Amino acid sequence: MSSQVILPSDPRFIFNPMSPEYDRDPYPILSVLREHAPVYEIPGFGALFLSCHAHVVEALSDESRFSGDRMLWENWQPPPPEHSEHPVIRMLSSNLLSAEGAEHTRLRKLASAALTRRAVKHLDPLMHSLADELIDAFIERGGCDFAKEFAEIFPVNIVSRLMGIARDSDRERRFKTLADSVVVAFNPMCSEEEKLHSLHSMTVHMEEVRELMEEKRANPGEDLMTDMVHAEDDTDRGFTPDEILGTLMTIIVAGSETTANSLSFGMIELLKHPDQLARFRDDPACRANAAAEIVRHQHPGRFLIRYAKSDTEIGGAPVRKGQMLFLSVPSANRDPAVIEDPDRFDILRTPHDSSSFGIGRHFCIGAQLARLELDVALGHVVERLANLELVGSFEGIGYRSNPAVRGPASLPIRFVPGQHLGAAEEDSLRRSA
């Protein structure tokens, strides 16, 4: 460790996991924390920040000591009445991500019904055609904003196709508006005004989703909505329409920005490593592995949150009942204690049993879908766009200010339209440019 590094014990040490510097590259400071303060109390906030793989795994796996239920937080305040009594908020209150025990098992059954292996497999051809449609829209320009014109659109459209919404329909466009509003409503950084505006928009569009549910009940199809409506009928207590809608909203929130950011991070890492880009393009068999490495190397989340159920300890440090714990999955994924040369991006790396998609009860229900989205979508991009290049510098990439996820706000790229060229042709094009 160089003498220039300011250690966490030094009063000059500043750790702000929301700052633009952290967004650009959180890994140097995460490495300092892992080595010198693996259980770090964030000054003035009272929460603990866990950066080692072993502690992250422990907090995620031990349900008897840690929970995702935010009402257990020592500083928990009920939301203001204009929010808590809002029909959309009431519907979202039985949220899969914060539910525990039997209630979680019950809601999870509903979400699993929607994302069965069969449903995901069924999406494979849809993914190929959606990737082509999005590329068709910008290919002739020889450049695009990859984050805005591809990465942000692809995952939401996949969920809407998964629901059986016809492509390029008015309903698909309205569904995109609904999804955008859900993401805003879940973002604690938004102003109260923005939140109320998005809640209003959600209320309007929700009626349409209810209509779609009725249509699927009358005319079942091979889609997520049909599976969810039937799951409602299959359980002992039955699922209410609000639970179905709430689960759908959770799937939108959990599955859209995470995957969008991973698509952009995947593009960035491939651009930074031309040899691996060539491998990814020429050898489709390595793409599934590459998808796992993209999510490990640049995890799109900031941290997961858990609360202590009683006084306890972790890594030898005391934890108060109700204390909040930030579990840094990005840091756990770069922990040299469990992964060799963790800062190296290597799409051929033997897949590591990382915590990218969570562990235990809340393990990501869309993990298989997300990996397939990265494999198919990035595969199409590298096959159809030759001589891919970033416009500007990697250091200049701007990031979104979202407290839950980390990812580029904009990613301008340029390319030569057309199927990829051979290495020699690419080389000669580069020389003549």
Q: Is 26 in the site for ligand HEM (CB under 6 A)?
A: no
Which segment (15-23, 39-47, 76-84, 355-363) binds ligand HEM by CB under 6 A? 355-363
| Smaller CB separation from ligand HEM, 83 or 108 | 108
Q: Is 127 in the site for ligand HEM (CB under 6 A)?
A: no
d(CA 299, CA 185): 23
**Amino acid at site 358:** G
d(CA 174, CA 172): 5
Q: Is 407 in the site for ligand HEM (CB under 6 A)?
A: no
CB of 178 within 8 A of CB of 206? yes
Supply 237's token pair.
């207590």
| Smaller CB separation from ligand HEM, 206 or 370 | 370
Which segment (38-46, 180-188, 190-198, 360-368) binds ligand HEM by CB under 6 A? 360-368
The residue with tokens 């695009």 is 144
Q: Is 97 in the site for ligand HEM (CB under 6 A)?
A: yes
Distance spanning both ends of the chain, measured CA to CA: 42
Q: How far is the CB of 423 from ligand HEM (least distance, A)?
A: 30
Q: Identify which of 118, 352, 90, 45 has the alpha carbon closest to the alpha carbon of residue 206.
A: 90
Q: Which of 364, 409, 416, 421 binds ligand HEM (CB under 6 A)?
A: 364
CB of 97 within 8 A of CB of 109? no
Which segment (37-45, 229-237, 253-261, 394-402) binds ligand HEM by CB under 6 A? 253-261
Q: Is 108 in the site for ligand HEM (CB under 6 A)?
A: yes
The residue with tokens 């979104």 is 400
d(CA 286, CA 266): 14
DSSP-derived letter for residue 147 is I
Q: Which of 50, 88, 144, 251 binds ligand HEM (CB under 6 A)?
A: 251
d(CA 29, CA 13): 10
| Smaller CB separation from ligand HEM, 362 or 420 | 362
Q: How far is the CB of 404 from ligand HEM (least distance, A)?
A: 10
* Inter-helix orientation angle 367-384/274-282, to 10°: 100
Q: Which residues bind ligand HEM (CB under 6 A)?
A: 68, 96-97, 108, 111, 159, 250-251, 254-255, 258-259, 262, 295, 300-301, 304, 329, 356-358, 362, 364-366, 369-370
